[in-house]
């Protein structure tokens, strides 16, 4: 699987951040805070099931301000099932479940705040959030705060890598245009979420197509891109494999879409953290190693049927 497109600074890596996805009921409550990435919302914060501070093994490793508040604010774009999405007023999914397990090791609450994907890195340096968990691909450009041309556009972030994924094409059920690879898209129109690595992948393919023009329609959300494909205005969307598979399985009772072709651009998703907050980064890394060791990480992946995306140990900035 791959990582959610650049859902922030662009960078072409790991293709593994929805049309009104048919959300399924999910056990376990996740946190929602009162403000989105760029606009205020009426969401109410909810607690992850963290251990009490006194008993949590890694509480003392956290920065003093977080120990005092008992909260880590986590930015996400909750429109990316099954990684993260809203169900019954709660943000649920793979990332919130992993965060819940991390919270038990750290002894603090992880509060998820939903906003636009391309504003998540900015939210770290504005102080609005302290972590990013949003199926964000770890790559060198994001680490260094660079755009596709290598130009500095902002501060970079560090990543604690926790999930492996590749990207897949999502097409209309029955694959009426016979799309089985990126090369099959030349001369056609595709839809994609703006600012993602998926958009980067389509742009690179457009360059390969040359005169046989590939038209790219970019939207604010992946849900809009999916709607375009469903309506026949575009032949394909691009997404992380687990997300594409989930959409194909759930949208319209499995009658709207299908996944086609092989996964490509396999890479790492990372938990984003400010480069200026190495203490928090290292505490999260240690917590991730702890839940890998105690089996709670594997339980989350099994629950969501994504065991193949497991990492064997936590790494920092291992993305390419």
Q: What is the pLDDT of residues 300-319, one digit of tens each?
A: 999 998 888 899 999 999 99
Quick one: how far is CA 91 from the chain centroid? Answer: 13
CA distances to 7, 45, 82, 171 from 103, rounded to whole Å, are: 25, 15, 20, 37
**Dihedral of the CA atoms 100, 82, 253, 198 (nearest 10)?**
170
- Cα 199 to Cα 12, 34, 108, 190, 236: the distances in Å are 9, 30, 36, 10, 12
Domains 59-165+267-316 and 166-266 share a fold: yes
For the residues 99-118, what does the mean pLDDT come to?
Answer: 96
Return the higher-pLDDT residue of 129 and 17.
129
Cα–Cα distance measured from residue 261 to residue 279, given in angstroms and rounded to the nearest whole number: 42
CA distances from 137 to 149, 214, 275 (A): 18, 24, 16
In this structure, how many other beta carbons lie within 10 angstroms of the beta carbon of residue 189? 17
Q: What is the pLDDT of residues 229-241, one digit of tens each?
A: 999 999 999 998 8
Q: What is the per-residue pLDDT across 67-83, written as a single tens digit (0 to 9) for each?
A: 999 999 999 999 888 99
Virtual torsion, Cα 25, 29, 30, 35, nearest 10 deg: 90
User: 25 pLDDT band (50/70/90 cuts)?
Assistant: very low
User: In which band, very low, low, confident or very high, does the pLDDT at 154 lie, cut at 50, 70 and 90?
Assistant: confident
Task: Quote the CATH superfamily of domain 166-266.
Answer: Periplasmic binding protein-like II (3.40.190.10)
Q: In the predicted model, what is the mean pLDDT of residues 256-279?
A: 92
What interhelical angle do 296-303 and 94-106 show, nearest 10?
160
85 strand-pairing partners: 79, 92
Q: In this structure, what token pair is assigned to residue 77?
A: 């774009």
- Check residue 4 and give its pLDDT: 55
Which sequence spans correspond to the domains of the chain? Answer: 59-165+267-316, 166-266
Class of domain 59-165+267-316: alpha beta
Q: Is the pLDDT of residue 224 over 90?
A: yes
> Going by DSSP bridges, is the β-strand pair 71-76/131-132 parallel, antiparallel, or unpaired?
parallel
């Amino acid at each position: 699987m791959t990582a959610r497109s650049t859902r922030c600074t662009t960078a072409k890596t790991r293709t593994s951040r929805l049309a009104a996805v048919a959300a399924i009921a999910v056990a376990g409550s996740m946190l929602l805070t009162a403000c989105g990435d760029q606009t205020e919302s009426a969401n109410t914060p909810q607690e992850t099931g963290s251990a009490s501070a006194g008993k949590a093994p890694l509480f003392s490793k956290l920065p003093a301000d977080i120990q005092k508040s008992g909260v880590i604010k986590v930015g996400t774009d909750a429109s990316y099932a099954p990684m993260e999405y809203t169900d019954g007023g709660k943000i649920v999914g793979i990332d919130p479940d992993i965060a819940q397990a991390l919270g038990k090791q750290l002894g603090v609450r992880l509060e998820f705040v939903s906003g636009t994907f391309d504003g998540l890195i900015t939210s770290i340096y504005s102080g609005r959030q302290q972590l990013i968990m949003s199926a964000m691909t770890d790559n060198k450009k994001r680490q260094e705060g660079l755009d596709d041309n290598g130009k500095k556009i902002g501060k970079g972030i560090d990543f604690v890598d926790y999930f492996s994924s590749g990207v897949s094409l999502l097409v209309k059920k029955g694959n009426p245009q016979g799309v089985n690879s990126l090369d099959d898209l030349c001369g056609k129109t595709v839809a994609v979420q703006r600012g993602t690595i998926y958009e980067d992948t389509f742009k690179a393919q457009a360059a390969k197509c040359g005169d046989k023009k590939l038209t790219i329609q970019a939207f604010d959300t992946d849900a809009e891109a999916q709607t375009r494909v469903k309506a026949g205005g575009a032949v394909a969307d691009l997404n992380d494999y687990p997300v594409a598979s989930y959409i194909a399985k759930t949208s319209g009772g499995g009658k709207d879409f299908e996944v086609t072709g092989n996964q490509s651009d396999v890479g790492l998703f990372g938990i984003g953290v400010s480069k200026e907050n190495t203490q928090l980064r290292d505490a999260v890394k240690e917590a991730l190693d702890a839940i890998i060791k105690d089996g709670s990480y594997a339980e989350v992946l099994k629950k969501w049927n994504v065991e193949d995306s497991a990492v064997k140990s936590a790494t920092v900035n291992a993305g390419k």
